[in-house]
Structure 1
Amino acid sequence: MLQINALVFDAYGRRFFDGASLTLAPGVKAGLVGLNGVGKSTLFKLILGHHQPGGGEILMPKGWRVASVDQEIAASPQHLIDAVLALDTRRANLLKALETADPMHQAEIHHDLYAIQADRAPSRAAEILSGLGFSNADLTRPISDFSGGWRMRAALAGALLAEPDLLLLDEPTNYLDLEGALWLEAKLKRYPNAALMISHDRDLLNEAVDAIVHVTGQKLDYYSGNYDNFEQMRAEKARLNAANRAKQEAERAHLQGFIDRFGAKASKATQAQSRMKKLAKLPPIAANIEDRVAPFLLPSPEKQLAPPVLRLEDVSIGYDDAVILRNVNIRLDPDDRIGVLGVNGAGKSTFAKLLAGALSEKHGVQWRDRRMTVAWFHQHQIEAMDPEDTPLEMMRRARPEETESKRRARLGSFGMTVEKVETKVKDLSGGERARLLLNMVAMDGPHLLILDEPTNHLDIDSRRALLDALNDYEGAVLIITHDRSLVELVADRLWLVDQGTVKTFTGSMDDYAKLVIERAKTATREDAAANAAPKQANINSKEARKAAAAARQAIAPLKKKADDLERKIETTGNQIKLLDHKLADPDLYTKDKTKAVSLGKDKAKLESDLVRLEAEWMEAAEAYENARLEAGV
């Protein structure tokens, strides 16, 4: 298990942890939550040994494998599938050792490879990559062909493939579309080992974790259950804390009143002294300090427009000679709340550019109200910010006619403190940059607000503040996001970008989630079927079925022998584990030495049997595989 005891850590002139403790049992998946900047990523660096604690200790079982996804795979000519397989270092090291091992050690290495199902690694890697949005053709493309975001996905695939004893994930859905986030959620539900994940994705924290670890007040507070349970328990804890504080304050006031009234009287001196001592011993109860975040300001348009504000008829959209979307027929009204769905690369951002006026239609008719104003927020704006710029300088350019005090007041309403308004962009957190830009693009009260992944850098409380602002905003909203709960709580209509067009999706987000999972399963089955196609294309399907059935029948005895030996190996291994458990009891050696000796002999015989069975299984498995390949099945 992961055990953190009385952790103390200082950096950058501040204290991150002061006496923080946590125990994470094997197999438990926990979400790590807290406001931006409280030290969540710092905790990961401490666990990985990149930082050294100033006090306390971080303990893990010897040999525990820990993996994180903290950087993208480096660009290289290596094929995607090979780069991901290489991230499973346990498998890679065993295969390398096998090349030079002597015959005696080869059997041991083969056993270890079998235990981790090394032969299934390529198909598992392909399945994971497919779930994260890569196509079958991508598997043999060089890593250098992919952007940084896609290389981050590949790094995530490698970590999931390796299945370390402790998996550390920092905002794993940030580089994923909604479809990838849904797949990852389902994958993490089934993850067999311990995991600690920093996430502000409420759905992920509700569906894929067993516990929540809250970083607050330089401590680590552990709550069993999902995020909704955590919020309920935290609210109840705050209520009880407030009640106890009120009760204690009343007791303090009562004791102090007695002291003030009778402290000077000789007849009451003893009682007054007793109450003074009791008052001094009352332990303080900390006041509830709410983690408050500044609200988002999304002014509504001063004057509403008549419907529709925009209409597309048989519109085609693209770049140069390439058409990305065609036959688009949609209508947008002043109060529409639209959630845009679709996989990465389907054309969602291209569609958003057209609606924002940054791209013209190639064919068809686009009609829009000439008075309509549009505010468009997208992630590239954050990436394009000048690192030497400051919020105040940005506001000066945006509002040259305003006074300096009014500019500062406006930035303050965005959540920029006095110190932050003149802080360089490079020293602001991702959440602070996102908050600043989102407030700035919307500050003129647009008729249409287009948000392309607005929550990537926002913590859960900031996402809730954005939700509140969007529900108060009275213009039209079009939102593209992998945050499923934000779509569910904001959008009243769904548009699906798929198969080269944009159409209305009539189901709910739950229906879309089921569709995505079913598509992934279908794609996996189709890939498996394609890989299992007969080698000779000139054999018709009926003859191929007959030939395959005959081949399977011919090699069935070999398969049965290998399977029987595999079951015997498993049974023998379980018997050895049972004896190990009995022999681990220290009382056995004092109460019944004869039994201890007998159990030891039984274990030695079983271990000898296991070595023999494994050798027989290797021969049987090799014979079966050779026969299967020769038969083409």
Structure 2
Amino acid sequence: MSLINLRNLGVIYSTPLFENLNLSLGKGERIGLVAANGTGKSTLLRIIAGETEATQGDIILARGTKVGLVTQDVPDDLVELSLFDAVLSALDPEQIESESWRADIALNDLEVPEIHWRRPLNKLSGGWQRVALLARAWVSEPDVLLLDEPTNHLDLNRIGVLQTWISTVARSTPMIVASHDRAFLDAVCNRTLFLRREKSHVFALPYTKARESLSEQDSAAERQFQNDFAKASQLRRKAAKLKNIGINSGSDLLLNKTKQLNERAQKIEDTARPAERHQSAGKIRLENSGAHAKALVSLAESAVTIPDGRTLFKLPPLWINPGDRVVVLGANGTGKTRLLSLVTGALDAEVANIRVAPSAIPGVSDQNLSQLDRFKSPMSAVTEMSDVGDHRARALLAEAGLHIDLQEKRISILSGGQRSRLAMLLLRLSKPNLYVLDEPTNHLDIDGQEALERELLIHDTTALIVSHDRTFVRNVGTRFWLIDGKRLAETDSPETFFDVQMDGAV
């Protein structure tokens, strides 16, 4: 039995986000919702939840179906509430009086430590805010859950808790999950919807297998399109020859045949459709200026400390050589970002026990993209970072997905995906030979993640990376440094660390 049916659903603003979407959601189904940034995923979830309306089509919910929506951001009226009160406020007033225990159960099911229960949401990390919104949706006992980027801001341990919760506590609740986390989609979803402008595609498969099927389908559609147009061209060439003969011979029969051939060609051309490609939020391109130094970064045996002098972990002697893409692994709070900040600091000044080759040209991006804060607008960022000229600057920004109406706007109004693409563009313009990247896939859609991976691989870049994105780490890492038990050591693979984090307790 279907709890939700979408029929010919569409959303059109100045241009269509998507049209002719048909989808059903039944018991036991968990649908992964995949699309580029800004192409309608969040809008679709809000429509299904009844918070906004579609431009066309119908939504049919089974009688009595209650839908719970977990948004990306905390609503303004909740930010000053404690985590516990924010969850509790999702209940009806009479339930709050007699059934406050429901909030306790929801928070315990999601393994939220009690130390966080009474803290205001605006004092908690983005990860705990995400968990609070999930608990808030769950406490009202929904029949269907809609999750909008549920793994944003979560570390691997919390993603593991979430995956376990979905497969156990919430296993019987149908879900639609909008996410750019490929490993998460594979782990929790048994169907995949690729949302597209004209024709969306649904597969009864998890993400990776569905993506392979979609690629095969697109390739077959493109081949059919090319074959159709080749056939139409052949008919038109034949018609042209017959027309010439018919005119020269005065044959009405041949001229009539010419007309018929052209009509057949026109009919083929009218019905032929090229394979629709997903809408891209903008291109990501990098550069690597190369390096002749044997080691771009050398780390001597030492202790990595925080400003008050406490030791986070001890370093053995290590080197980062040209072509190495080193991923730093470790649980939250072990000092990964601290290590990156020390290496970044050594690029500009002497840092004890860290030596950076004089030929190193850095390309640095932190997880908050704070390198963008000093610029007034995307346009000023590009022109201050390079001498490409205004015309070329505008073309580069447009290519990165920042069209003319955004180029002079304040950077603070850009979406996370737009800020990430701008940051990648600025890295490209700096022509680095040493990338230092802290959570570079944050806010990037799957298209952007894959583009970043390709660029790092194609240019054989040298990089020091921190990331919670398992697929990204597996695809780009060549070396892995693990912080564990107050020491850092090199390990052959990230898989043991991933397994421990995903299965570990909070």
Per the shorter chain, which TM-score range? 0.7 to 0.9
Task: Judge which range, 331-340 or 263-272, deviates more.
Answer: 263-272
Alignment of 1:363-442 (within 5 A): 365-381=353-369, 385=373, 389-399=376-386, 401-408=387-394, 410-411=396-397, 414=400, 416-417=402-403, 421-426=407-412, 428-442=414-428
Query: What does residue 179 of structure 2 align with?
Result: 199
Structure 1: any 5+ residue segments left out of the alignment?
100-112, 524-633
SS at match of 2:310: strand
AA partner of residue 205 (structure 2): G
Superposition deviation, residue 492 in structure 1:
2.2
- Give RMSD over aligned pairs: 3.5
Pair 1:328-2:306 in alignment: no
Alignment of 1:112-511 (within 5 A): 122-123=104-105, 125-130=107-112, 135-143=113-121, 145-160=123-138, 162=140, 164-190=142-168, 191-256=171-236, 259-260=239-240, 261=242, 265-267=251-253, 278=264, 281-282=267-268, 284-291=271-278, 293=280, 295-307=283-295, 309-319=297-307, 321=308, 323=310, 325-335=312-322, 336-357=324-345, 365-381=353-369, 385=373, 389-399=376-386, 401-408=387-394, 410-411=396-397, 414=400, 416-417=402-403, 421-426=407-412, 428-499=414-485, 501-504=486-489, 506=491, 508-511=493-496
Distance in structure 2 (CA, Å) of the matches to 1:473 and 1:325: 34
Superposition deviation, residue 32 in structure 1:
1.1
Task: Judge which range, 213-222 or 170-179, deviates more.
Answer: 213-222
Query: What does residue 39 of structure 1 align with?
Result: 40
AA partner of residue 50 (structure 2): G
Check the 8 A contact 2:291/2:359 in 1, yes or no.
Answer: no
Distance in structure 1 (CA, Å) of the matches to 2:326 and 2:274: 42
Task: Judge which range, 221-230 or 157-166, deviates more.
Answer: 157-166
Superposition deviation, residue 17 in structure 1:
3.1
Count the aligned residue pairs.
490
Superposition deviation, residue 257 in structure 1:
5.1
Superposition deviation, residue 475 in structure 1:
4.4
Which of 71, 74, 77 is the aligned partner of 1:72? 74
Going from structure 1 to structure 2, the CA distance change for 1:496 and 1:83 (only over 3 Å counts) comes to farther
Q: Which has the larger radius of gyration?
A: 1
Query: What does residue 544 of structure 1 align with?
Result: none
SS at match of 2:360: coil
AA partner of residue 104 (structure 2): P
Going from structure 1 to structure 2, the CA distance change for 1:362 and 1:249 (only over 3 Å counts) comes to closer
AA partner of residue 272 (structure 2): I
Going from structure 1 to structure 2, the CA distance change for 1:94 and 1:287 (only over 3 Å counts) comes to same
Distance in structure 2 (CA, Å) of the matches to 1:391 and 1:144: 29
CA deviation string 1:48-98 (max 9, x = no partner):
2222223221111122121122232724463x34543554x37x85464xx
Distance in structure 1 (CA, Å) of the matches to 2:407 and 2:442: 22
AA partner of residue 395 (structure 1): V
CA deviation string 1:370-410 (max 9, x = no partner):
443432211322596479x33221122223x5543454455
AA partner of residue 327 (structure 1): K
SS at match of 1:38: coil
TM-score by length of 2: 0.84
Superposition deviation, residue 138 in structure 1:
2.9
Query: What does residue 500 of structure 2 align with?
Result: 515
CA deviation string 1:8-52 (max 9, x = no partner):
3333x2222333222222321111111222111111222222222
SS at match of 1:379: coil
AA partner of residue 115 (structure 2): A
Task: Judge which range, 447-456 or 141-150, deviates more.
Answer: 141-150
Overall identity of the aligned pairs, in %: 26
Task: Judge which range, 448-457 or 275-284, deviates more.
Answer: 275-284
SS at match of 2:504: helix
Check the 8 A contact 1:298/1:439 in 2, yes or no.
Answer: yes
Going from structure 1 to structure 2, the CA distance change for 1:242 and 1:193 (only over 3 Å counts) comes to same
Going from structure 1 to structure 2, the CA distance change for 1:34 and 1:26 (only over 3 Å counts) comes to same
Distance in structure 1 (CA, Å) of the matches to 2:287 and 2:253: 69
Distance in structure 2 (CA, Å) of the matches to 1:417 and 1:53: 26
Check the 8 A contact 1:35/1:461 in 2, yes or no.
Answer: yes
Alignment of 1:540-551 (within 5 A): none
Distance in structure 2 (CA, Å) of the matches to 1:31 and 1:141: 32
Check the 8 A contact 1:18/1:218 in 2, yes or no.
Answer: yes
CA deviation string 1:447-480 (max 9, x = no partner):
4311111112111111111001111344431211
CA deviation string 1:254-295 (max 9, x = no partner):
544565526773446776666566556545121124347555
The structure whose residues are more often helix, as a share, is: 1
CA deviation string 1:285-340 (max 9, x = no partner):
21124347555333223433223622142223212x25261433351322332222
Greater relative contact order (Cα 8 A, min sep 6): structure 1 or 2?
2
Check the 8 A contact 1:313/1:364 in 2, yes or no.
Answer: no
SS at match of 1:482: coil
AA partner of residue 16 (structure 1): L
Going from structure 1 to structure 2, the CA distance change for 1:77 and 1:53 (only over 3 Å counts) comes to closer
Distance in structure 1 (CA, Å) of the matches to 2:44 and 2:411: 24
Superposition deviation, residue 515 in structure 1:
1.1
Superposition deviation, residue 195 in structure 1:
1.0
AA partner of residue 355 (structure 1): V
AA partner of residue 228 (structure 2): Q
CA deviation string 1:400-423 (max 9, x = no partner):
x55434544554665555565445
Check the 8 A contact 1:308/1:331 in 2, yes or no.
Answer: no
Distance in structure 2 (CA, Å) of the matches to 1:298 and 1:65: 46
Going from structure 1 to structure 2, the CA distance change for 1:220 and 1:17 (only over 3 Å counts) comes to same
Distance in structure 1 (CA, Å) of the matches to 2:265 and 2:396: 47
